Amino acid sequence: MIAAILGLICLALLGLSVHLFYRGMRKSAQERILRRLGQVEQAAALAPVGHDWLDRLLQRAGIERRNELLWLWLAIWLLAALLTGRIVGWAAGLGLLPIGPLLAWLYLGWRYRRRLQRIIEQLPVLLDHSVRSLKAGRTLSDAVLGAIDASREPLHGALQRVRRNVQMGVSLDDAMAELAELYEQDELRLFALGLRINHRYGGNASELLENLIKLIREREQGARQLRAMTGETRMTAFVLGLLPVGMAGYFLISNPNYLLTMWRDSNGQFLLLGAFILQAVGCLALWRMLRSI
Instruction: Tell me the pLDDT tens digit for each residue of 47-86.
Output: 443 346 777 777 887 776 655 566 677 777 777 777 777 7
90 vs 180, residue with greater confidence: 180
120 and 91 Cβ atoms separated by less than 8 Å: no
Percent of the chain surpassing pLDDT 70: 75
For the four alpha carbons of 60, 66, 44 and 154, in that order, the dihedral sign comes to positive
Please compute, for residue 264, the number of CA atoms within 13 A of its CA located in the half-sphere on the CB side: 6
- When pLDDT is cut at 50, 70 and 90, the band that residue 41 belongs to is very low
- When pLDDT is cut at 50, 70 and 90, the band that residue 46 belongs to is very low
Instruction: Tell me the pLDDT tens digit for each residue of 250-264.
Output: 888 888 787 778 878
209 vs 55, residue with greater confidence: 209
Lowest mean pLDDT among 51-55, 192-196, 272-276: 51-55
Question: Cα separation of 89 and 273, whole Å?
Answer: 14
Question: Cα separation of 126 and 216, whole Å?
Answer: 12
In 136-169, alpha helices (H): 140-150, 155-167
Task: Provide the pLDDT for residue 87.
Answer: 72
Task: Provide the pLDDT for residue 260.
Answer: 79
Q: Is the pLDDT of residue 176 over 50?
A: yes
Highest mean pLDDT: which of 70-74, 116-120, 221-225?
116-120
Residue 119 sits at the vertex; the CA angle it makes with 237 and 173, to the nearest 5 degrees, is 125
Phi-psi region at 38: left, alpha or beta (left = phi > 0; alpha = psi -120 to 50): left
Q: Who contacts 220 (Cβ-Cβ below 8 Å, separation ≥6)?
A: 120, 121
Question: Cα separation of 121 and 123, whole Å?
Answer: 6
Question: 3-state SS of the chain: helix, strand, coil percent to 5?
Answer: 85, 0, 15
Task: Provide the pLDDT for residue 43.
Answer: 43
Lowest mean pLDDT among 31-35, 130-134, 179-183: 31-35
181-198 mean pLDDT: 87
158-182 mean pLDDT: 88
Question: Cα separation of 129 and 149, whole Å?
Answer: 11
Lowest mean pLDDT among 17-21, 98-102, 137-141, 157-161: 17-21
Task: Provide the pLDDT for residue 28.
Answer: 61
Q: Is the pLDDT of residue 209 over 60?
A: yes
DSSP line for 42-96: HHHHHSPSS--HHHHHHHHHT--TT-HHHHHHHHHHHHHHHHHHHHT-HHHHHHH
Please compute, for residue 224, the number of CA atoms within 13 A of its CA located in the half-sphere on the CB side: 7
For the four alpha carbons of 98, 286, 16 and 105, in that order, the dihedral sign comes to negative
183-208 mean pLDDT: 85
Task: Provide the pLDDT for residue 40.
Answer: 40
Residue 216 sits at the vertex; the CA angle it makes with 215 and 221, to the nearest 5 degrees, is 100
Instruction: Tell me the pLDDT tens digit for each residue of 143-152.
Output: 888 888 888 8
* Max Cα-Cα span within the chain: 78
User: Nearest to residue 37, comparing CAs of 196, 211, 215?
Assistant: 196
46 and 196 Cβ atoms separated by less than 8 Å: no
292 and 26 Cβ atoms separated by less than 8 Å: no
Preceding amide of 154 cis, omega within 30: yes
Task: Provide the pLDDT for residue 257.
Answer: 82
Percent of the chain surpassing pLDDT 90: 0
Task: Provide the pLDDT for residue 44.
Answer: 41
- When pLDDT is cut at 50, 70 and 90, the band that residue 276 belongs to is confident
Task: Provide the pLDDT for residue 19.
Answer: 65
DSSP letter for 203, please: -
